[in-house]
Amino acid sequence: MSKLSHIDSDNRPTMVDVSEKSLSERAAHAQSRLRLPPEVLAQVSGDEIATKKGPVFATAIIAGVMAAKRTHELIPFCHPLGLDSCKISIAIDADLAVIDCRCKVTHKTGVEMEALTGASVAALAVYDMLKALSHDIVISDTRLISKSGGKKDFRRGA
């Protein structure tokens, strides 16, 4: 059985010691989905929704990148990382807005939490900007799609 990485031998919460690990390239891809009701979908033009608050998806991308860079301030045991790359895209698929966040870093620890945070906060920003149109927007399926580097790689469905 696997042991939790953030619990010490006395069963207390702790930050993982990465001092003995070597630097390697790490990457992660996370995704969040928002189910958009018809009144919101009717506002989509091309690949954006324009509102009085500004362009929804462009603003959400900025919010997601900002959040990914500050993950260590939000999640207690995350190491501060200087991300080498954080790219967020948002696409409409039927009644869904699909947010993908891809992060890369060369470090001693991975970037899964940064990618998950970026996707999550981008989804929250979309909700915030569109809630005047409908409160029936549903944020769902925030999950890790893949990660590479470190002890083991992961790919959803593989």
Catalytic member of 8, 93, 100, 128:
128
Q: What is the pLDDT of residue 124?
A: 98
- Kindly list the distances between the CA atom of residue 21 and the CA atoms of 71, 107, 108, 149, in Å, as whole numbers in the listed order: 21, 9, 6, 12
- d(CA 73, CA 71) in angstroms, rounded, equals 5
Q: What is the pLDDT of residues 85-115, one digit of tens each?
A: 999 999 999 999 999 999 999 998 889 999 9
Domain locations along the chain:
24-146
Give the containing element (helix H, strand E) for 56: helix 56-69
Respond yes or no: is residue 128 known to be catalytic. Answer: yes
Q: What is the pLDDT of residue 7?
A: 77
Angle between helices 112-130 and 56-69 (to 10 degrees): 150
- Tokens coding 127: 């909700």
Q: What is the pLDDT of residue 11?
A: 78
Q: Which residues contact 136 (CB under 8 A, 6 or more apart)?
A: 37
- Secondary structure letter of residue 116 according to DSSP: H
Q: Which residue has the tokens 């929704």?
A: 49
What's the pTM value of the predicted model, to 2 decimals?
0.91
Greatest pairwise CA separation for the chain in angstroms: 56
Q: What is the pLDDT of residue 20?
A: 80
Q: Which residue has the tokens 């696997």?
A: 2
| Phi, psi for residue 149 in degrees, rounded to 5 | 95, 165
The CATH label, of 3.90.180.10, 3.30.70.640, 3.40.640.10, 2.60.40.10, for the domain at 24-146 is: 3.30.70.640
At 126 the three-state DSSP class reads helix
Q: What is the pLDDT of residue 157?
A: 81
- Tokens coding 41: 């979908």
> What is the full DSSP assignment across 37-52?
-HHHHTTEETTEEEET
Q: Name residues of the chain where pLDDT drops below 70.
A: 1-2, 4, 158
Q: What is the pLDDT of residue 22?
A: 84
